[in-house]
Chains A and B, each alone.
Chain A
Amino acid sequence: AQSVAQPEDQVNVAEGNPLTVKCTYSVSGNPYLFWYVQYPNRGLQFLLKYITGDNLVKGSYGFEAEFNKSQTSFHLKKPSALVSDSALYFCAVRDMRGKLIFGQGTELSVKP
């Protein structure tokens, strides 16, 4: 069965530093992987996805993610964090019937 894991409940970063939010996956077949962001009291917003092609995927708000097949990972990255990036981040994988399976979420806190 498809699954994703986000090993960190919380990530703390200083503004201006690079950030990484980790995600590992377990799928049969080729993975369809997604990152979503949730700001307080809001719905989820799509950031980026990997379907096929380049291992480095660029998305919204300066975020990017690196697909690594050998390590079954899809880590979210940003070269320089902003305080406004503070939010809850979800990794997800699409199963064979088109449904998304979400990780438990990682809370990113960026301090000035």
Chain B
Amino acid sequence: NAGVTQTPKFRILKIGQSMTLQCTQDMNHNYMYWYRQDPGMGLKLIYYSVGAGITDKGEVPNGYNVSRSTTEDFPLRLELAAPSQTSVYFCASMGGRTDTQYFGPGTRLTVL
């Protein structure tokens, strides 16, 4: 049981490039979340999903897209990378019968 896994761990992008941050969970959780963490700012919710095929915007969705074709996977897409998207990105999941979110190890993204 690996929990929540994220790839890659680190990535440097040039302005305007695109990439997908991968997130997979093996706990059969319905709920999945993407956060970004900026220094001194806590975590901000980007997008979330309550089940396969259902996604919704969080607090800071601009510049990002998500999809949820399976229960296990919840990729985050950056289409046109900007320096403001330099951050650490965390994926999390939560089961339907618990209130606890479990976090992945994070992806550190730098946009230059």
Q: Which DSSP category, helix, strand, loop or mixed, fits chain B's interface?
A: strand
**What separation, in Å, do the CA atoms of A44 and B106 have in the docked complex?**
9
Contact digits for A89-110, partner B, Cβ 8 Å, 1 yes 0 no: 0100010001110111100000
- Interface positions, chain B 7-60, Cβ under 8 Å from A, are 31, 33, 40-43, 45, 48, 50, 58
Task: Give the CA-CA distance A39 to B4 in the complex, in Å.
Answer: 17
User: How near does chain A come to B67, taking the closest CB pair, in angstroms?
Assistant: 19
B103 close to chain A: CB less than 8 A: yes
Task: Look across to chain B and name the residue whose beta carbon is closest to the beta carbon of A42.
Answer: B105
A99 to B104, CA, bound (A): 17
Size band of the interface chain B makes with A? 20 to 34
A55 part of interface (Cβ distance < 8 Å): no
Q: Once the chains are docked, how many angstroms separate the CA of A102 from the CA of B103?
A: 14
B42 engages A51 (CB within 8 Å): no
Contacts of B94 in A (CB 8 A): 98
Q: Is the CB–CB distance between B106 and A94 below 8 Å?
A: no
In the assembled complex, the Cα of A94 lies from the Cα of B40 at a distance in Å of 20
Q: A104 contacts B41, CB within 8 Å?
A: yes
**A41 to B100, alpha carbons, bound, how many Å?**
21
Interface size class of A (residues with CB under 8 A): 20 to 34
Chain A residue nearest to B3 (CB atoms) is A43
- Using CB atoms, name the residue of chain A closest to B58: A99
Say whether B102 faces chain A, with CB atoms less than 8 Å apart.
Answer: yes
A104 nearest in chain B by CB position: B42
B45 touches A99 (CB 8 A): yes
Distance between Cα atoms of A102 and B30 in the complex (Å): 21
Shortest B90–chain A CB gap in Å is 6
Determine if A9 is an interface residue (Cβ-Cβ < 8 Å): yes
Name B residues whose Cβ lies closer than 8 Å to a Cβ of A: 4, 31, 33, 40-43, 45, 48, 50, 58, 90, 92, 94, 99-106
User: Can you list the 10 inter-chain pairs with the closest CB atoms, starting with the nearest?
Assistant: A43-B103, A102-B42, A104-B42, A44-B103, A102-B43, A43-B105, A46-B100, A43-B106, A43-B104, A105-B42
